[in-house]
Structure 1
């Protein structure tokens, strides 16, 4: 069998085995993602595997560089990749995707035993903090009095009495008799 025929047969087998499984995702006919563990589990990770042209005679490319794995330390990622490479070497020349995925599921605890969650410098701000901040800024702006031009000030002074108040009825509307 040629490499392409082997790939087609393995692809068909993977589709039938993992049909309806939300842990498995086919990105293309030669690239796959498989989640090890539950989404909420801090020790879960996502394997991304792609086949080179001569797979299964050559090793598949295994990556942990997805966003889902951003909380996993570099040392843990390297350890997982080294253990996965050992499994790839042991199964080289055969259809190995199912074997790799199942081995990773069975050995998840061992692979993640030294896992220390990575903390990032991203600070989350709640909506109430944002709203409180914006209202305090708008209050400062509203507290500042409106600036009047010289002509506006002259008109205002001309309409007011000696106490600075407008005379009674200054904005009344005259009723026109017809």
Structure 2
């Protein structure tokens, strides 16, 4: 069999095995993502695997650069990749995707034993607030934002100069007859 026939057969097998599995994602016919662990699990990670043209005779390209993996240290990523490369070497020349995924699932604790979640703080500020703070050193107060409906009501009550008409908030005095 040629490499392309092997790839087609393995692709068909992967699609049938992982149909409906939220952890498996086919990016293209030669590129896949597989999540090891649950979404809530701090030791979960995503494998990005791409087949080169001569796969399975040559090793697939394995990456841990998905955004999901940002909380994993570089050292832990290196350990995972080294151990996965050992599995690739042992299975070279055969369809190995299922084997790699299952091996990674079974050995997740071992792969992530040195893992300590990286915590990064992200603060969002508006660009005008940042520049004002940087230039003056003072924090700028934010204006109250009005909704479109509130703006329309204000405009409908004002004249062409943007002023409210005289007496807009006056209360009508009703004369009550005494009987």
TM-score, normalisation: structure 2: 0.70
Structure 2 unaligned regions, length at least 5 = 126-138, 145-165, 168-179
* 2:114 alignment partner in structure 1: 114
Quickly say closer, same or farther: Cα 1:137–1:95, change in 2 above 3 A. Answer: closer
Quickly say closer, same or farther: Cα 1:72–1:2, change in 2 above 3 A. Answer: same
State yes or no: 1:72 paired with 2:49: no
Give the superposed CA RMSD.
2.0
Question: Across the two proteins, how many residue pairs are aligned to each other?
Answer: 133
SS at match of 2:48: strand
1:117-163 CA-to-partner distances (Å, cap 9, x unmatched) read 112242368xxxxxxx98x5448xxxxxxxxxxxxxxxxxxxxxxxx
Q: In 1, Cα distance between the equivalents of 2:75 and 2:117?
A: 11
1:42-79 CA-to-partner distances (Å, cap 9, x unmatched) read 00000000000000000000000000000000000000
Q: In 2, Cα distance between the equivalents of 1:10 and 1:138?
A: 59
1:93-112 CA-to-partner distances (Å, cap 9, x unmatched) read 00000000000000000000
* 1:103 alignment partner in structure 2: 103
Structure 1 runs of 4+ aligned residues shifted over 6 Å read: none
Q: In 1, Cα distance between the equivalents of 2:65 and 2:143?
A: 43
Structure 1 unaligned regions, length at least 5 = 126-132, 140-170, 173-178
SS at match of 1:85: helix
Q: In 2, Cα distance between the equivalents of 1:38 and 1:124?
A: 28
TM-score, normalisation: structure 1: 0.70
